[in-house]
Chain A
Amino acid sequence: MLLIPCPNCGPRDETEFRYGGQAHVAYPENPAELSDREWAEYLFYRDNPKGAFAERWLHSTSCRQWFNMLRDTSTYEIQAVYPMGQLRPAAGPTAPILPTPVSPEGAVK
């Protein structure tokens, strides 16, 4: 089980979260001008990298807020947690960039 550091609530079990798929998939500027293939690619085609992957998560059981997370798909290492709307931080085997926990659960493990 993953221990996910929610930016609002601190580290919690993976079962409290909902997965939201790949992050930073922008809505097309002019959807009406897209070909069927481009539209299908926007809707259904997602990256499937081995390594760092930016994805959206929802803390559905507690604070009900969305956030982005950079996670390594092969080692499950959580490399960064950052707010929605913020650009993806650089990937790399660095120490996780974790928000300061505001929860009384204590320090980030």
Chain B
Amino acid sequence: MADTAALSTAEIQTLRQSPAALLSAAFDAGSVAGTVELRELPFLTMVGIRVDPASAAGMDLGTFTGGLPAASGIVRTSGDTSVLWLGPAEFLLVAAPESHDSLGGEFPRALIDTLGSGAGQVVDLSANRTTFELSGRRARSVLEKGCSLDLHSRVFNTGTALSTEIGGIPAILWKTDEETYRILPRASFSQFLGRWLLDAMREYASDEVP
């Protein structure tokens, strides 16, 4: 085991392993180009924000992040930073991996400074969840095998995120494009959900039986 205390940040980047890294070859093999594809987006920066959006601290954080979402499902995006609604006073900020302050970015340090001594909580949750990206014209059919929400596009619109159950485990489902979904399971569930999705995708690799 490497002595991480003696390593520079750049060296640590090469050593760290994402929760579903073991499955990356299986994801490539199980993806059906143009039909349904699965990949992991590792190490996204995630910050948990717990604050009453109507309070002074909530207003400050809202101004900084470009607005806290007001109701279930809403995602406020500015640039490549998005804030997801998890509860009336609970939000999840998702940003690119290089936005983390250990890599020269601003999160979560800037949010902690913005909150200051106000009533609330800002916690670095980057290692709490991993992110899968499921895309393709069959992506919705795959998700519908294990998610009871109505995922039809007339109800579940692009730019909406809901935390729910997928394949029997809790996860956040975020529709980022017409046929692209991000799924955010907790790290300890990621291998289970990765294999579950691969199994659900398998039928689309064969030709349709007429």
* A binding-site residues for B, Cβ under 8 Å: 8-10, 12-13, 15-16, 61-65, 102-106
- B150 CB, min distance to chain A CBs, angstroms: 6
Pick the 5 closest A-B CB pairs, nearest first.
A102-B71, A63-B87, A104-B73, A103-B72, A9-B72
B149 near A: Cβ within 8 Å? yes
- Which of B23-31, B110-118, B127-135, B158-166 makes up part of the contact surface? B158-166
Q: Which residue of A lies closest to B151 (CB)?
A: A105
Closest to B152 in A: A106
Looking at the assembled complex, report how far the CB atom of B69 sits from the nearest CB atom of chain A, in whole angstroms: 11
Q: How large is the interface on B (under 10, 10 to 19, 20 to 34, 35 or more residues)?
A: 10 to 19
Q: Please name all residues of chain A whose beta carbon is closer than 8 Å to the beta carbon of B150 when the two chains form the complex.
A: 105-106
Cross-chain pair count, CB within 8 angstroms:
57
With beta carbons under 8 angstroms apart, the residue of B86, B90, B155, B164 that contacts A16 is B164
The 19 sampled A-B contact pairs (Cβ below 8 Å) are A8-B72, A8-B87, A12-B148, A12-B149, A13-B165, A15-B165, A61-B164, A61-B165, A62-B163, A63-B90, A64-B87, A102-B72, A103-B162, A104-B73, A104-B155, A104-B156, A104-B160, A105-B155, A106-B150
Contact (A12, B164) CB under 8 Å given A65-B87, A104-B155, A105-B149:
yes
15 extra interface residue pairs, beta carbon distance < 8 Å, beyond A102-B71, A103-B162, A105-B156: A8-B72, A10-B72, A12-B148, A12-B164, A13-B148, A13-B165, A16-B164, A61-B165, A65-B87, A103-B72, A103-B73, A104-B73, A104-B155, A104-B160, A105-B150
A41 to B170, CA, bound (A): 36
With both chains docked as a complex, state the minimum distance between the C-beta of B52 and any C-beta of chain A, in angstroms.
13
Q: Does B77 contact A (CB under 8 A)?
A: no
- Chain A's closest residue to B71 (CB) is A102
CB atoms of A63 and B157 under 8 A apart:
no
Q: Say whether, besides A103-B71, A104-B160, A63 and B155 are in contact (CB < 8 Å).
A: no
Contact of B162 among A13, A62, A64 (CB under 8 A): A62
Quote the shortest CB–CB distance from B135 to chain A (angstroms): 20
Interface residues of B in 128-150 (CB under 8 A from A): 148-150
Tell whether A9 pairs with B162 under 8 Å between CB atoms, given A63-B86, A63-B88, A65-B87: yes
